[in-house]
Structure 1
Amino acid sequence: MTDQIGNFVQSNDQALAQEPQLLDAKWDQAISYEAYLEWIDQLLAENKTTGDNHSEAMIHYTVMNRHRMRRIEKYTDLRDDAAAALAEIASPQDWLVLTEAWCGDAAQSIPVMHLMAEQCENVRLRLLLRDEHADLMDRFLYKGKSRSIPRLIVMDSGSRTTLGVWGPRPAEAQKLYESAVQEPDFSYQEVAEELQKWYANDRTEAIQRELTSLLRGIEQNEVRQGEIQQGLQG
């Protein structure tokens, strides 16, 4: 048993040592928010979405998500505490998001991340498709087991040290989802609709609060705070 534990720790240490190299390589492959939107629009023009599933349902989800993203871009204002937290960022950060165009949660949160990044000269935002970068996704599983997206990885721009992780959705929305999936008559379609209603009523308040909390934890040198303690460990 001791040897097994020792091997696990060694393996984990090796993975952590390799993480900055992986993040550096992935950052170079990632695209801007604007390029991501252009890509989605091009795919929709071809009656496609991201990934391999181009079913009518998946394309419908993607169309709805573009409407949601446009609405959030048009009507969302940054909270005062979020603006203050962004202004306090002392060292440059790179925000890397794992996503897919058909993901309803991503459509609700990524425009907010973009808005925050646009307000801070020390933050750059780029995106990757989850299904094309499974190696990175598997390093940042939700609660160590789920490939849930979106997944925001906040890293130091120079060292590529991971400072924090957020996602796939605000805590209150996550509770709604986890409660729904326990029901014997669980329907993904129904819970997806309930989540979108929740997002509409919340008006980005929760994600702004949670990202603000994450940023403040980082600036207080609580490295990998927020999700390293709350998410990757459960």
Structure 2
Amino acid sequence: MEFLSHPVTQKVIDQGFSYSKFVEFTEQLVRENRTTGSNQSEAYLEYTKMCLQRMRRWDKTAKVSPKIKKLVQSIQEAQVWLLITEAWCGDGSQSIPYLAKLAELNPKIELRIIMRDEFPEIMDAYLTHGARSIPKLVAFTRDLKVELFTWGPKPNYLLTRHKEYKHDSKGKSYKEFLEEIHLWYARNKNQDLESELLPLIQSTLL
């Protein structure tokens, strides 16, 4: 499907971080005791530190299955994968390292990461049920003329769990809910993420 006026331009891509530069940027933020976006509260500073720890851990432990590895390596036409996130985003820290490992499998994939609050017009083009939920992955052809697929902000299981929690917390605090979510990520080991990405990436080859 062609988009004649979507807000993603080559200038935006050029401003984005590679994954390694994003990790370095997050390390710098932690050293300077700050984070991205307007909320510089102690809570968000702590989220950023935790996100950095998670990314480092997934960099060492995340595994890509032979099935999706073969699929990604079969991509012949260049693609741009644009990730919208923030340094404090917990879901981003759980998913982005795996997405980066996929992109590294094929030189035809260019992964770029931008901050949500620095590009509101882009974020608003990719809302989830009307919300600026992150991370959000949007894949394009290299000339940016065709949007290939979108994914995010989290695996479908967690989208359902979050909706259920908002409807009825069953006495569970939000902190307890988040701990449950991150435990799920650790146990799931990106299996749901991979299963959701498989048909999306496959669709770009048709």
Task: Please say whether Structure 1 and Structure 2 have the same fold, judged by a TM-score greater than 0.5.
Answer: yes
Does 2:81 match 1:95? yes
Partner in structure 1 of residue 39 of structure 2: 53
Q: Which runs of 5+ in 2 are unaligned?
A: none
Task: Report the counterpart of residue 158 of structure 2 in structure 1.
Answer: 173
Where does 1:1-234 land on structure 2 (aligned, <5 Å)? 16-19=3-6, 22-143=8-129, 145-183=130-168, 185=171, 187-220=173-206
Q: Which amino acid aligns with 1:17?
A: L
Residue-by-residue CA offset, 1:6-27 (whole Å, 9 max, x unaligned): xxxxxxxxx94211x6333321
Q: Note the C-alpha offset of 1:189.
A: 2.1
Relative to the length of structure 1, the TM-score reads: 0.82
TM-score (norm 2): 0.93
8 Å contact from structure 2 (residues 82, 113) kept in 1? yes
The 1-side partners of 2:121 and 2:4 are apart by 15
In the TM superposition, residue 55 of structure 1 has moved relative to its aligned partner by 1.4
Deviations 1:47-79 (A, max 9, x none): 111112121111111111111111111011211
Distance 1:68 1:82 in 2: 23
Distance 1:188 1:98 in 2: 24
- Unaligned regions of 5+ residues in structure 1, if any? 1-14, 221-234
Give the superposed CA RMSD.
1.6
| 1:89 Cα offset (Å) | 1.0
More helix by share: 1
Q: Which amino acid aligns with 2:70?
A: A
Equivalent position SS for 2:112: strand
Give the letter for the 1:176 counterpart: R
Alignment size in residue pairs: 204
Cα offset, 1:28, TM superposition: 2.0
**What is the deviation of 1:186?**
6.2
Letter aligned with residue 181 of structure 1: K
Contact map agreement 2:3 2:147 (CA 8 A) in 1:
no
Counterpart CA distance in 2 for 1:109 and 1:31 is 16
Distance in 2 between the 1:47 and 1:140 partners? 30
SS in 1 for 2:38: coil
Alpha-carbon distance between aligned partners in 1 of 2:148 and 2:172, rounded to the nearest angstrom: 36
Distance 1:150 1:188 in 2: 19
Residues 24, 160 of structure 1: 8 Å contact kept: no
Q: Report the 3-state secondary structure (helix = DSSP H, G, I; strand = E; otherwise coil) of the residue aligned with 1:199.
A: helix
